[in-house]
Structure 1
Amino acid sequence: MNICIVTHKLLKGDGQARVNYEIVKEVLQRNHQVTLYASEVAPELSTRPNASWIKVPVSGWPTQLLKNQIFAVISALKLLPRRKQYDLIIVNGFITWVKSDINAVHFVHSSWLKSPAHPFRLRKDGFGWYQLAFTSINAALEKIAFARTRFLVPVSEKVRSEVQAICSASQLRVIMNGVDVDEFYPDRSLSRGQLGLPEHVPLALFAGDIKSPRKNLDSVLRALAGLPELHLAVAGSTGGSPYLKLAEQLGVDRRVHFLGYRKDMANVMRCADFFVFPSRYEACTLAVIEALASGLPVITTYQSGVSELIAGDSPSGFVLEDPEDVAGLRRAMRTLSANPELRRELGFNARAIAERQSWQSVAAKYIGLFEEAAALNRTDSDAPGIAHSVRSQKL
């Protein structure tokens, strides 16, 4: 196959950039031809003989909203003259004005706009108004993108439901995100002291953007205030974060260890006893799946799509109904903090769940869908004008 992928970045970082990185790596290993329309691409991908990178420059524009719109226009102008060269065009949400064959949905702005935790509902200053404009514009544009593709690929059942609430014109295939099970694995031999963390105390871990209220670190800190024996490690850039001051105000600052942005998250996770992530809105965060692979029990909420992995037949943690339920969060944290045997049992289940979500297995599902979509494209001329039927499957 000759595949075109349009995305902002393909890097071995986190989030959507990591998902695309892993999929493209597997596609290239299977000797398919791939053309990448992106602003940044990892060298180990762009230098492969069967990969081509068409750079879409967006540096210099003052806001992410403008960068995204410029990317959509430039990528369309570069892609349209070459459209017929490709068997497939694959995108993420609204990212270009060109129609796609497969659209992988990692975030639904229309749902985030309705959330009580949206920044505009919390702040009526310039930042709040900018976030309202950013989400509103993307909510309108994603509806256009979703209606102009053959297959939509939500990254969780939660996202599938959100997509169906605003669009029903495409086939739906749920493919959850994955994890590198060789990078993230259980190992309690690493000394916490090497990371500046306390030994011989129960230690919870939180990781994510600690500037935004969406990740809900504030509830974690409030819950921690009633658990005097528990310590908390927080991984995430501290610049502009209000939570260092909140920890001090709550009197927990001596038990909260702000680690800053970390590139060694696998080691950080191997030092923790459990992972706490009561997000107010999440599609399918990689951090939780990485925690599962590290053998950590997880506390999260049903507002996070990855909760589908945790609350199954072999539970690997606790899932809260309400992200604002600080008392319930505190009970779950206390339970895990005080029960090493329960942590071991849930951690064993967590690792088994993560092994089924390896990047190789996830990429194989995507490639199977690519092959199906390419076959349909080849036969389209035999049945012009026939609309695609709506159906939903989980892969």
Structure 2
Amino acid sequence: MKVLHIITRLDRGGSADNTLLSCIGQRRRGHEVVLAAGPGLTEESPLRPRAESEGVELVRIPSLVRAVDPLKDWGALRACRRLIREGRFDLVHTHTSKAGILGRLAARLAGRCRVVHTPHGHVFYGYFGPWKTRLFVWAERLMARWTDAIVTLTDREAEEHLALGVGRPSQFVTIFSGIPLPPAKARGGADPARRQALGLPAEGALIGSVGRLDPVKGHGLLIRAFARLGDRHPGARLILIGEGEKGEEYRALARELGIARRVSFLGWRGDVGDLLGELDLFVFPSRNEGMGRAAVEAMAAGLAVVATRTGGLPEVVKDGETGLLVPPGDAAALSAAMDRLLDRPEERRAMGEAGRKLAQAYSAERMCEKIEGLYQRLLAPAAPGLAG
């Protein structure tokens, strides 16, 4: 089987990690796999060494950008069409909204091959203004007609597509975003040496979050909620792992709220798993989330999770069992949930253990098995014709 994956950004985000793990799983099953990505795919790309070491062929498409840019979009469409036509792929699998629109249209123009799309969430709320959102919804409705299967990370994500008239129920397949599960081990105490290396005090609760510093991820809300803890937890520190367009704005917000010395911006790290082991509580404050892969990684590390009740997160974080859910955009509720779990270490630890057990169902290997099964069904000789 020869498969082409197309994604806009091959960065450290959940959609990029998911896509690369899928590619690696397919290579290990003996398939020929090509991964095309936008201008961020350079020699310094953090995921490039692993992709190449696993035999995944990488193709850079400089015009494949996330923002709407008619000139670049036309160039990306032509590049994808040429790649699909010359590559003679059995199946094209697109990822995220922008690459999904251009990639599926290119596959339609290039000729008949099976087409799968994974939105990795959606952009129907929390990302853009009204007119751009309507444009994306219209485009998703059209592209769904030329898609054999739409892979959503949770059932809720499929429901939100269907509610807006995107696709038909028979097109949707729920396949979670898998993670490499860490070895099972009991959570230990704080590591003074690691804390010192990070410029953190040897003691005090650590609250953390992992993700792009973009508006939709809600880190501004988290900083405000953390500030509301005030004198109740003076030794607590907030650790933000990730980078993004709002990084400087969030640093300024922490200074404005008088908590700059208690908020650490660590950027992207290669030792996230070890850092999760240092945290006491994980917080995921997104405004829109397909599944919440980072929340699953935190659960696998034995952490209780405070998250917003949005998108697919309630299917991952079980309220009152593996963590607490709060309304999106509610700083007071987010702060109260953090306060509760910091005050109740036994409840926090019990939730962390329950989350660790639940996370075992989200292995990367199980995800790859499910995707392989989908591909085989679509490519079987008796499979139905192309959608639309």
Give the shorter-chain TM-score range.
Answer: 0.7 to 0.9
RMSD: 2.9
**Structure 1 unpaired stretches of 5+:** 122-131, 389-395
Q: Is the 8 A contact 1:179 1:293 kept in 2?
A: no
Q: Is the 8 A contact 2:218 2:285 kept in 1?
A: yes
Question: In the alignment, residue 217 of structure 2 is paired with which amino acid?
Answer: K
Does the Cα contact within 8 Å between 1:56 and 1:75 map onto a contact in 2? no
> What CA deviation, in whole Å up to 9, does each residue of 1:8-62 have, x standing for no partner?
4557x3322111111111111111232334454734444656x554x24316x89
CA offsets per residue over residues 109-167 of structure 1, 9 Å max, x none?
2x12xx4xx4648xxxxxxxxxx64x554433322222211111111222111211222
**Structure 2 residue matching 1:371: 3-state secondary structure:** helix
Structure 2 counterpart of 1:144, from 139, 142, 145: 142
* Contact 1:275–1:291 (8 Å) recurs in 2: yes
Q: 1:58 to 1:220 in 2, by over 3 A?
A: same
Q: Give percent identity, aligned residues only.
A: 26
| 1:220 and 2:222 correspond | yes
User: 2:76 is matched with which residue: 65, 71, 74?
Assistant: 71
Question: Does residue 188 of structure 1 match 2:192?
Answer: no
Q: Describe the shift of the 1:271–1:154 C-alpha distance in structure 2 as closer, same or farther (beyond 3 A).
A: same
- Structure 2, unpaired ranges of 5+: 42-46, 109-113
Is 1:58 paired with 2:62? yes
> How far apart, in 2, do the equivalents of 1:254 and 1:4 lie?
46
Paired residues of 1:119 and 1:213 also in contact (CA < 8 A): no
Question: Hey, what does 2:111 align to over in structure 1?
Answer: none
Which residue in 1 is equivalent to 2:255?
248
List per-residue Cα deviations over 1:269-312 (Å, max 9, x = no partner): 11110111121111123221211111111111121423311117
Residue 139 of structure 2 aligns to a residue whose secondary structure is helix
SS class of match (2:177): coil
Q: CA deviation at 1:231?
A: 2.1
Q: State the AA in 1 paired with 2:211.
A: G
Q: Any idea what SS the aligned residue of 1:106 has? A: coil
Q: Is the contact between residue 291 and residue 316 of structure 2 (CA under 8 Å) also seen in structure 1? A: no
Counterpart AA for 2:341: L
Task: State whether residues 154 and 312 of structure 2, in contact with CA within 8 Å, keep that contact through their aligned partners in structure 1.
Answer: yes
Q: How much has 1:262 moved relative to structure 2?
A: 2.4
Q: Is the 8 Å Cα contact of residues 90 and 102 (structure 1) preserved in structure 2? A: yes
Once residues 185 and 101 of structure 1 are traced to their aligned partners in structure 2, the CA distance between those partners, rounded to angstroms, is 41
For 1:296 and 1:45, the matched residues in 2 are separated by 29
Residue of 337, 355, 362 corresponding to 1:357: 362
Conserved? CA contact 1:214–1:280, under 8 Å = yes
Q: Distance in 2 between matches of 1:62 and 1:354?
A: 33
Which residue of structure 1 aligns with residue 212 of structure 2? 209
Aligned AA for 1:224?
F
Query: CA 1:184/1:176 → structure 2, altered by over 3 Å: closer, same or farther?
Result: farther
Superimposed CA distance per residue, residues 91-123 of structure 1 (whole angstroms, 9 cap, x where no aligned partner): 2232412144321121322x12xx4xx4648xx
> How far has the Cα of 1:323 moved from its partner?
1.4
Q: Which residue of 2 aligns with 1:42?
A: 48
CA contact (8 A) 1:180 1:358 kept: yes
C-alpha separation between the residues in 1 aligned to 2:185 and 2:166? 38
* 2:315 is the counterpart of 1:302: no
**Alignment partner of 1:101 is 2:115:** yes
2:288 is aligned, of 268, 281, 287, to: 281
Q: How many residues align?
A: 358
Contact 1:9 1:38 (C-alpha < 8 Å) held by counterparts? yes
Change (3 A) 1:193 1:186: farther
* Aligned mates of 1:260, 1:6 — CA distance in 2: 26
Query: Structure 1 residues 172-181 or 262-271, which shifts more?
Result: 262-271
Aligned partner of 2:238: which letter? L
Corresponding residue number in structure 2 for 1:161 = 159
Aligned pair 1:4/2:11, yes or no?
Answer: no
Shift of 1:347: 0.7
SS at structure 1 position matched to 2:121: coil
Identify if the C-alpha distance between structure 1 residues 260 and 6 changes in structure 2 by more than 3 Å, giving closer, same or farther. Answer: closer
**What's the secondary structure of 1:331's corresponding residue?**
helix
Deviation at 1:222, TM superposition (A): 2.4
Give the equivalent residue in structure 2 for 1:124: none
Distance 2:257 2:94 in 1: 44
The amino acid that maps onto 1:157 is D
- The answer to whether the Cα contact below 8 Å between 2:65 and 2:73 also exists between their aligned partners in 1 is no
Pairing partner for 1:261 from 250, 265, 268: 268
Is contact 1:186–1:270 with CA below 8 Å preserved after alignment?
no
Which residue of structure 1 lines up, in the alignment, with residue 89 of structure 2? 86
TM-score normalized by the length of structure 1: 0.80
Q: 3-state DSSP class of the match of 2:269? A: coil
Is 1:340–2:345 an aligned residue pair? Answer: yes
Matched, 1:319 2:325: yes
